Structure 1
């Protein structure tokens, strides 16, 4: 039996265990969770042994169905043996950039049924699936188990996001369970973000420095799909909290970015211009956090104007 258990989904394109993964797993174990790693990579015996030094079990499976298929396998084998909290996590983030145990204590200090680091409103309300904790009455429920009985290995990535990541939160909410995140866009002063965005990208620095969320999305550094200019300062931000993590991130980025068509080796750097979504999202955060209601509303209206302008220019 396990008190608390983390099911950790792993994948590496080169079948290598990157240094940041055991570093993250050590922090999860220090936070009071046993660990089962489910990997879709053909890891070497040495890498498996390295994982076994921090994990109760290491499961290797075929590379299909993405993380939800990995978690589903872990749930099938181990969930009935967990008396306390069940965590699902993956290797799509670098961290912890700061104190993970403290972040979990803050997260769970307000009673809820399900906990995550970031709540998103994209597509529909949901917790971003790279880090979620479920109380025992939730992970034992039909609403939870039925989500992970879906044939993820037959789904596209878009379908897995819709039926897995978003569907999981929506199924639990529909069955009366409460979800809570360290950051959901709402502030203690009664204000909230008005501009919908992928906050883990657009507000990456605010999340680490102001909200004490100790993670940085790998996709943001490696691909930078939203062309976030401020990400050029990531080394300074990470080094201020966990300098030993910087070389691990650099090594992983160099190895996994080679040959990518979407390689962001030379991303746009510097502050966002007034025409960039990043500029408006950043101001949205500042104004909402400060309780500046009128400024927040004006910023939102201005952002919609520029959004419409960009859409018209694309079609001319």
Structure 2
């Protein structure tokens, strides 16, 4: 406790230097990379506990990463673990939370095969890697799902969807793709098949890992850069919902349906649709999980990004109808999302 008190004055200067989000803050990134290189590839896991489900000999594993200020295991996270198990995955839950109370550890253990608590270095990607290192028989794996708690859901069973994401079509899958900076699979949900898991590039990625404590480095090199690295190594990558198809469908629907000519259309909705059409025509990338969240869910997409509700990054009008969109296609209990939002939000109604 005394040490924490002495370190508190340097907390914010440290974050300003080493925790930047700007992608061109290269000095901070290189400094963080140098520190991570010196520290080496050791795991940041502080403790782990066996869960009530079997991990030994598992051929299909999911590493689910969570972070909460108080280390809480929220209802929506439990629902996610249940859905992954129903899809035939042995679940490893990795918590990056600053604290992890005993009662929450006990709760988590009921719903997974292994629970791990780690220092939050390298953020979600660092937790993905440390979770992979906890798989007792990596060589036996047929598939590996890496997923984080930045999404609510799933609103649909995952097993049929994962069957569609076949190794015959791609070695590495994402739920959605993005053209922000350059084309890549979005990293909140990634599926690796055996050909990828056994590939030298992927094996070396886990072996030579660096827990770089720079969000901008993680975004540039991992969230954006990892897909290109895989493809250059000869691995095929694909998304279950393709950005280009989403944009084409959107533009066609708005124009052919003459939606903008509808005089009953609220001005806020009209302005957003016009902005999206402008971006589409200009070839400017849009985050599919933000701009097309409702279209995706209606089309069977099983998730909703949390930040759509917590911050509404694009100013989506009538966002308060989110629960109706979900309930229109799914039996998912949206009250568990509401309970989580009540626990984490201030001065915002969703």
TM-score, normalised to structure 2, is 0.69
1:207 aligns with 2:266: no
Describe the superposition over 1:141-197 as per-residue Cα deviations: whole angstroms up to 9, x where unpaired.
231233343323x33112111111222211111111111111112449x98965520
| Distance in structure 2 (CA, Å) of the matches to 1:109 and 1:238 | 30
Residues in 1 aligned to 2:67 and 2:225: alpha-carbon distance in whole angstroms: 23
1:117, CA displacement in angstroms?
A: 0.5
Q: Is structure 2 residue 279 aligned with structure 1 residue 221?
A: no
The question of whether the paired residues in 1 share the 8 Å contact of 2:167 and 2:193 is answered with no
TM-aligned CA distance change 1:140 to 1:132, over 3 Å: same
CA positional deviation for 1:235: 1.0
Ranges of 4+ aligned residues in structure 1 off by more than 6 Å: 190-193
Unpaired segments of 5 or more residues in structure 2? Answer: 1-56, 252-279
1:258-308 Cα distance to aligned partner (Å, 9 max, x none):
2xxxx6x258xxxxxxxxxxxxxxxxxxxxxxxxxxxxxxxxxxxxxxxxx
Cα distance, 1:11–1:72 mapped onto 2, change above 3 Å: same
1:277 matched residue in structure 2: none
Q: Which residue does 1:136 correspond to in 2?
A: 194
Q: CA deviation at 1:231?
A: 2.3
**8 Å Cα contact 1:126/1:170 also seen in 2:** yes
Secondary structure in structure 1 of the residue aligned to 2:243: coil
Unaligned segments of structure 1, at least 5 residues: 268-316
Q: Which residue of 2 aligns with 1:249?
A: 337
Aligned twin of 1:98: 156
* Number of the residue aligned with 1:290: none
The SS at the match of 1:77 is: coil
- The answer to whether the 8 A contact 1:5-1:82 is kept is no
TM-superposed deviation, 1:218: 0.3
The CA distance in 2 between the partners of 1:162 and 1:147, in whole Å, is 16
Aligned length: 259
> Judging changes above 3 Å, is the alpha-carbon distance between structure 1 residues 242 and 68 closer, same or farther for their aligned structure 2 residues?
same
**1:4/1:34 contact within 8 Å kept:** yes
Residues 6-63 of structure 1, C-alpha deviation per residue, up to 9 Å, x if partnerless? 1111111222111000101111111111111111122222222222222111010112
Match runs of 1:65-76 below 5 Å? 65-76=122-133
Pairing 1:56–2:144 present: no
Tell whether the 8 Å contact from 2:326 to 2:332 is kept in structure 1 after alignment.
no
Q: Distance in 1 between matches of 2:314 and 2:140?
A: 39
Deviation at 1:76, TM superposition (A): 2.3
Whether the 8 Å contact between 1:9 and 1:71 is mirrored in structure 2 is yes
Which residue in the other structure is 2:60 paired with?
Answer: 4
Contact 2:70 2:100 survives alignment (8 Å): no
Q: Does 1:150 align with 2:206?
A: no
Indicate the SS of the match to 2:238. strand
Partners of 1:120 and 1:128 within 8 A in 2: yes
Q: 1:25 matched to which residue of 2?
A: 81
**Alpha-carbon distance in 1 for matches of 2:147, 2:243:** 22
- Checking the alignment, whether the CA contact within 8 Å between 1:20 and 1:245 is kept in structure 2 is no
CA distance in 1, matches of 2:196, 2:124: 20
1:165-180 maps to which residues of 2 (within 5 A)? 165-180=223-238
**Equivalents in 1 of 2:341, 2:301: separation in Å?**
21
